[in-house]
Amino acid sequence: MGITVSAPAKLFLLGEHAVVFDGTCIVTAVNSRLSVSLERSDEALLTINAPDVRLTNYQKPMSAISEQFDKADASSFIRSSVAVFAERCAFDGGLSISTRSEFKREYGIGSSSAVVAATLFGLSQLFGAEFSHEELLHMGFEAIQRVQQLGSGADLAAAIYGGTLYYENRSPRTVVALPVENLPLVVIYSGYKASTVDYVWEVGKLRDRHPEVINPIIEVMLTIVEQGRLAIEEANWQTFGDLMNIQHGLLHALGVDTSSLAHIVLRAREAGAWGAKLSGAGGGDCAIILTDNPHIGTILEDMNDRIAKLDIQPNAEGVRLEI
Ligand code: PMV
């Protein structure tokens, strides 16, 4: 008998990039989910079917699942998750894992973190291991590091815990659930896919070249996260919007803004939004707009054919059992 579990995608509200340098951020889970079905098999093989990333009947002996992790290989995050789990909870035989995503990978809203969170949670359910959210975060962080050697783990925390989180990328990593109701957020795809890993590297290199300039920018971003936490707790959208605008300006200074994202953000502000910014590593993917204007999607989509309003809402549930 197999089981199906799911995990949500996510959006960064504040603190992206700063969180990588032992910092903090605010991240929210969104109601677009990735499901993972898992079944045990007698033969010691890992079989993966993941049509969204063009994996059909991919097979690897269980003894070889840790060979050559590469972020460009769509099987890597599942293999590394299974490997990390098996090191803590050994089992005989093999596994058949299939995934299905409600959101497109190019939106950049967290397919890798959702697949890692759901795979680990699914395995934990399948084998009755009952790992806590904290343990899953620890294991998932390890699985992601094995594939891409970087990342704050904030996206993973959102996929596991759900809701809207204040996240500290320090030892020990801490997650604080923020009380958020009716966060008036509109999500806009900029029309271009970007590689998170490349942009994290570029920002790291910029910091190495100009530490006296970039370190203070990161410090201000962390102050914005602290102020944003208070504003979100008070549902003070004027203040939260101001902080989003300033964070976008600082992300622009780090070189991760694009013309499409900049146009979306400026047009949204002209249309009266409280705040608008890129969300995540930058270079493309999505912008988020804090607004109660019901026409904002149409206003922004009218600018260009590639721009699309996504029908997703923040503050969604974390990992859960489906069947
Ligand atoms: O591009 P996204 O949505 O995966 O966000 C990346 C956020 C960074 O802070 C730049 C990296 C990280 O691991 O937190």
pLDDT, tens only, 294-312: 999 999 999 999 999 999 9
What phi, psi does 34 have (nearest 5°)? Answer: -115, 125
Q: Mean pLDDT, to the nearest integer, of 238-251?
A: 98
Average pLDDT over residues 227-252: 97
* Ramachandran class of 149: left when φ > 0, alpha when ψ lies in -120 to 50, beta otherwise: left
Dist. CA 107–CA 41, nearest whole Å: 34
Environment class of 64 (CB within 10 Å of its CB; exposed 0-12, middle 13-18, buried 19+): exposed
Q: Which atom of ligand 1 is nearest to the CA of 11?
A: 3
Q: Using pLDDT thresholds of 50, 70 and 90, give the confidence band for residue 40.
A: very high
**Which protein residue's CA is at the shortest distance from atom 5 of ligand 1?**
280
CA 142 to CA 322: how far, in whole Å?
A: 25
Average pLDDT, the chain: 96
Task: Pick the atom of ligand 1 nearest to 18's CA.
Answer: 9
According to the 3-state scheme, what is the secondary structure of the chain? Answer: CCEEEEEEEEEEEECCCHHHCCCEEEEEEEEEEEEEEEEEECCCEEEEEEHHHCEEEEEEEHHHCCCCCCCCCCCHHHHHHHHHHHHHCCCCCEEEEEEEECCCHHHCCCHHHHHHHHHHHHHHHHCCCCCCHHHHHHHHHHHHHHHHCCCCCHHHHHHHHECEEEEECCCCCEEEEECCCCCCEEEEECCCCCCHHHHHHHHHHHHHHCHHHHHHHHHHHHHHHHHHHHHHHCCCHHHHHHHHHHHHHHHHHCCCCCHHHHHHHHHHHHCCCCEEEEECCCCCCEEEEECCCCCHHHHHHCCCCCCEEECCCECCECCEECC
**CA 168 to ligand 1 center in whole angstroms:** 14
**Which residues touch 72 (CB under 8 Å, ≥6 apart)?**
none
Least confident of 67-71, 149-153, 227-231: 67-71
> Is 73 noted as a catalytic residue in this protein?
no
Mutate to test the pocket of ligand 1, among 24, 32, 149, 200 (most ligand atoms within 8 A of CB): 200
Report the separation in Å between the CA atom of 13 and the middle of ligand 1, taken as the mean of its atom positions. 11
Q: Which residues line ligand 1 (CB under 6 A)?
A: 12, 16-17, 19-20, 108, 151-152, 154-155, 196, 200, 280-281, 285
pLDDT score, position 171: 87
Give yes or no for residue 130 having a pLDDT over 90: no
Report the distance separating Cα 112 and Cα 25, nearest Å: 19
Cα(281) to centroid(ligand 1), Å: 5
| pLDDT above 80 (res 231) | yes
Looking at the predicted structure, is the pLDDT value of residue 323 above 80?
no
Is residue 23 within 8 Å of 15, Cβ to Cβ?
yes
Ligand 1 atom at shortest distance from the alpha carbon of 10? 3
Cα of 46 from ligand 1 centre, angstroms: 29
Beta bridge partners of 185: 290
CA geometry: angle 59, 70, 50, nearest 5 deg: 40
Q: Which of 73, 155, 208, 242 is labelled catalytic?
A: 155
Percent of the chain with pLDDT over 70: 100
- Nearest alpha carbon, ligand 1 atom 2: 280
Predicted confidence band of residue 72 (pLDDT cuts 50, 70, 90):
confident
Residue 263: both structure tokens together: 């146009």
Which of the four pLDDT bands, split at 50, 70 and 90, describes residue 71? Answer: confident
Q: 44 CA to middle of ligand 1, Å?
A: 35
The pLDDT, as a whole number, for residue 309 is: 97
Cα–Cα separations (whole angstroms), residue 303 to 82, 192, 198, 256 = 44, 15, 28, 21
CA-286 nearest atom, ligand 1: 3
